[in-house]
Amino acid sequence: MREGETKKDKRRKYMSKDSYFKNGFKSVREEVKQDMEEQFESETVGELKSNDHVIVRDNVEVHLAKDFGFCWGVERSIAMAYEARTHFPDKKLHITNELIHNPQVNGKLQDMEVNFVPKTGGPDGGKDFSGVSDGDVVILPAFGASIEEMELFDSKNVEVVDTTCPWVSKVWNTVDMHQRRGLTSIIHGKYAHEETVATASFCETYLIVKDMGEAEYVAKYIAEGGDREEFMKKFEKAMSKDFDPDKHLVKLGLANQTTMYKKETRAIGQLFQKAQLNKYGPVDVASHYMEFDTICDATQERQDAIHDLVNNKEELGLDFILVVGGWDSSNTQHLLEIPLNAGLRAFHINEGECIGADNTITHRAMNGDVVKEEFMGRGMVRMGVTSGASTPDRAVQDALDRIFLLKKVNPELQ
């Protein structure tokens, strides 16, 4: 890089080229919009919305969260990917990762002959771009792409369709500000998550903490020092090259993976602010800690909505909450945490087929295990339902329809 040039400056340079598309393709927009409506909209969800988010059918009472499902950033990303396929009908299209964490959407892209760049299987999450040739089109997913990938595409004669969610770009702007001010970016996220990989690539110096436990470990090191070798081992996959905890924890800025649990991000921010305040005092703390709100509105709204269901669980008489969304979806996993932490049964499924005709449900537990168990009893069942930001309404309908049918035809559940 030129002296004084940041990684954000490099990204802006790539984005300014005629071969870089970041606003979709207006000429095919209406056609794609109709296709998405046919593929994703749901009569059942529409009925729930028009009835104050409650319906009763076949001895099942369903309470739908007030905010759920597709966020505008996901819808935008899908629309741009579909538009790209329509706009470039004769070109070979590639996507650098799953567009979003939803099996139905990614399956549709495969049906449209969009090639998913294969992963090399290494611990660094590398990818094999050897199949990308001059003249091809490369789609960047909603999570974004690393600066190294952007450099690679810039060196090739390819066209790039950038569907990165604007909220993710906002985080990148924040870490760029950290770097310009000589701060280490503390990223609350999962080091192997596509979004966090991209965010970290825009930092010169960073440390990734996945939860409050890791944040407390770092805060204690700031306050008391500690075993440097142990620190380096603990965060070996979650820190920038040449990171030194005795040097790079002096000035900090907080950023986050947009899909993380909002309360935990805020608590981590307060923890680091307090650590710097105690070490450097109230007069100088502003030069040692910086924080901007980079929590995605859609993530926050969906978490607030399921909190509302959980807080009214006794009044509503909820037996369980069904959470629909990709098993790799971080924002959906955090929706599951909320009812489970409140002592309410909850099941995270990735598609309707997880509901078995034998009254079993195949679901992903909080520890990541996929398990199968019976889930409904006799008589009236009262359930809450929500879905992740990458989940179409049609997936929710499919799950509910299977539950309605199961209650209707299984005599053991009458």
Asked whether 127 and 96 are in contact (CB, 8 A), the reply is yes
CA 36 – CA 150 distance, rounded (Å): 28
Helix H segments across 290-342? 297-311, 313-316, 330-341
Tell me how far apart the alpha carbons of residues 368 and 116 are, in angstroms, rounded to a whole number. 24
Catalytic residue among 149, 159, 195, 291: 195
Beta bridge partners of 384: 63, 321
The reply to whether 195 belongs to the active site is yes
- Of the candidates 254, 271, 166, which has an alpha carbon nearest to the alpha carbon of residue 212? 271
Residue 122 to residue 215: CA distance in whole angstroms: 27
Using the Cα atoms of residue 217, residue 222, residue 224 and residue 229 in order, give the sign of their dihedral: positive
Gyration radius of the chain over CA positions: 23
Query: Which of 81-95 are b and which e, b meaning 16 or more Cβ less than 10 Å from the residue's Cβ?
Result: bbbbbebbeeebbbb
Q: Residue 352: phi, psi to the nearest 5? A: -60, -30
Catalytic residues: 195
